Each structure stands twice: as structure tokens, then as C-alpha cells.
Amino acid sequence: MSTSIGLFRKELAGLRPYIPGKPIEEVQKEYGISEVIKLASNENQLGPSPKAVEAIRRELENINIYPDPGCMELRNKLAEKHGLEMENIVVGNGGEQLLQIIAQTFINAGDEVITSDTTFTILGIWVEYLGGKNVTVPLNGYKQDFKGYIENINENTKLIYVCNPNNPLGNIMTKDEVNYLVENVPDNVVLIFDEAYYDFARVNPEYPETIDILKRRPNTIILRTFSKIAGIAGLRIGYALTSKDIAIEMSKVKGTFNVNRLAQAAALGALEDEEHISKTVELNYRSLLIMEKSFDELGLEYVKSNSNFIFVNIRKDSESVSKELLKRGIVVKTGTIWGWNSWLRVSTGTVEQTEKFISALKEVLKQ
């Protein structure tokens, strides 16, 4: 049966299906290896926050009851933590869902979103789906080109998406750079700061505190997630900090029970788990240091990271290098999807995992 023209929403023709990375179990079967190290999705290699796990255990008894659609307890705690009110907060089924909600909240056909040609693509997919236009500005020296963003603003510009730190590069935009952007963007353009790696980045004194920007500039949205730092990517929960007006509009399209009970409980547990957060951040920078040192020794160029991954130029076809790594039980992400064909994005791991990756990489590059 051929697909009849006009059956599907027309914007879908321009979108490509998501190609998922191989799950660990698949790699084990295909290559006949027992130990697989997955450094492809920026997951927390220490595991989930123990306090989150404890909270889930307690909550298990209650899963016959629908979750709180308003995520009241969590929003109260988050408001307290961030010096905001709960009306400033929207909780989503992961940061990904919040990016979808943002597109649904603002984009009419023909509206434009300014972002970089190398960044996290989820918002862009929803913008395209809704008939909006992604204006992608080339990077300038591996950084998001804020001057270029400002030059591209016109009467159709609704949103500017800043991924800070940027995925897949891992580097941050500094306070000064972000201030320059804020000062030069008209008030009616919504600035989005995707801070999925906030807790890793904030150790850099140059990293901006965007909540201060939100407090004086209502058309601002800050995204955070529990997936990376709290190690609960499998549960799906993240949140947006924004003005009360934007939060009300976003809540209209979030879906009633968008965040499940276990995720809400886990997030509350994770918020209390200072120890897990600091251990995670500490291990992250140990792992980054091992990789940076080894890349220096190998003469490989990399981007200075304040995230839980690093972007490195291995100067060979990254698809074939990643296949060779896969045979050795190591899963990484290639830069190919962003057009960076000799680059790899490698998540940080435990010291042992990081060292295994480095020795496998050395072996593969020697071939």
C-alpha cells in the first residue's frame, strides 16, 4: 500500500525519524561481549541519587493514584531553592517535553527561532513541526555567536535558544557574553537558557546566574533537568523557571498528568541529596581531567568542557572509529549528526570506565 499524499501533517516530510543509540543489551549480543561501557548519553555513571531511590520505594505503594497534575510539593521546594514563587515553575516529563511545550506555547507558522547550527536539536524539531523556522547561526570559534543572533533578529523572531553549556560541545557562554545578548535582544523576544548541565557548569565562576536575568526580564525561560545530575534520566523529569504569565500559558499545553508519581517523588528526594550531587560533580571533573590529559598526549584537539561530556577531534572518520570502539565494548556518540564527521562526544564515566575508554581509543587510533 502506498502512502496517500496528504495523509500526514505536511511538516513531517521535512523531519527525520530519531535514530536511537544501541542499548547496552544489543551491543552485548551483537559483539558477544559481556561488559559494555556506555558513554553516549551523558548519564550519571554513579547511578541514581540514593535519596531518589528511597523516595521511589516509598511511593511505589501509591501508584494506583494519579499523580498531582500541579506538582505542588516539588514546585514549592524548587521555588524556595531558587528564590522564586511556585507560579514561576512548570514541571515537565523531562527537559525534552518542556522544549516541546515551549514550541507549542509560542510558535505560529512563519515564526522564527534563532539558535546555533551545532546544538541540542529537540526544540528545533518541534518548531519545524509547527511550521516555524529555525534560523541556525554558525558557531564562532566553537562558541554560540551571540552577535550573529542579534543580527538575525527580525519581526518574525519569537525565541532565541541558548544551550549553556552547549550540547554537543560542552563549553559555556560566560556571564559577559550572556549579558551582551540580554542587553541587545528586544524585550518581546523570549530568551531560552537550556541549563541541563547547570550543576556541572556552576563550578566555573564565569558561568552566569540566569535567575537574576529572569527576575528583571520576564520573557526568559530557564530549563533544568534531574536526568543528568540526579541520575534519574529513566524517570523523565525536568523543570522550567519563567515568568508567571509564560508559566500559565505553558501549563495549558503540558498535559494533565504529564509527570508521574515516581518521578515527582524521586525529584523531591534528589533535591535533598547534596552528597550525591557533589560526588557526581567531583567525579565528573576527575574523568574530564583524565581525558583532557590523554587527548593532550595524543595531540587531539578538544573543546574545554563544563559538562559531563567532552567533544574531541579524532581526525578520522568518527563513524568507523566509533564502530571499532563498539567492538571493544565502548559506546560513544559521533559528531556526524551535527556534521562534525571527525569528532566524538564522550560522556564522563567512573575513573575505571574513563581509563578503559582511553586505552581503547589509543588502540583504535593506532590502526
Ligand X SMILES: *Cc1c(COP(=O)(O)O)cnc(C)c1O
Q: In the complex, which residues of this chain contact ligand X (CB under 6 A)?
A: 94-96, 120, 163, 167, 194, 196, 225, 227-228, 233, 238
- Closest approach, Cβ 121 to ligand X, in A, equals 9
Q: Which is nearer to ligand X, 101 or 364 (CB)?
A: 101
- Closest approach, Cβ 314 to ligand X, in A, equals 21
Q: Which is nearer to ligand X, 225 or 264 (CB)?
A: 225
Q: Which is nearer to ligand X, 138 or 234 (CB)?
A: 234
Give alpha helix (H) positions in 32-69: 50-59
Look at strands 112-116 and 157-163 and give their pairing.
parallel
Q: Which is nearer to ligand X, 170 or 329 (CB)?
A: 170
- Closest approach, Cβ 207 to ligand X, in A, equals 15
- Closest approach, Cβ 165 to ligand X, in A, equals 8
CA distance 113 to 157: 6
Q: Which is nearer to ligand X, 33 or 281 (CB)?
A: 281
The amino acid at residue 324 is E
For every residue of 102-138, DSSP letters joined together read HHHHHPPTT-EEEEESSS--HHHHHHHHTT-EEEEEP
Coil/strand/helix, residue 309: strand
CA distance 229 to 162: 20
Q: Which is nearer to ligand X, 43 or 59 (CB)?
A: 43
- Closest approach, Cβ 170 to ligand X, in A, equals 10
C-alpha cell at 153: 533578529
CA distance 124 to 139: 16
**Which has the closest alpha carbon to 39: 266, 363, 288, 289?**
288
Pair 272, 191: CB distance under 8 Å: no
- Closest approach, Cβ 297 to ligand X, in A, equals 28
CA distance 148 to 140: 9
Q: Which is nearer to ligand X, 310 or 358 (CB)?
A: 310
- Closest approach, Cβ 296 to ligand X, in A, equals 26
**Which has the closest alpha carbon to 134: 120, 142, 147, 143?**
120
Q: Which is nearer to ligand X, 294 or 347 (CB)?
A: 347
- Closest approach, Cβ 286 to ligand X, in A, equals 21
Coil/strand/helix, residue 247: helix
The side-by-side arrangement of strands in the sheet containing 89-92 is 89-92, 238-242, 220-225, 190-194, 157-163, 112-116, 133-137
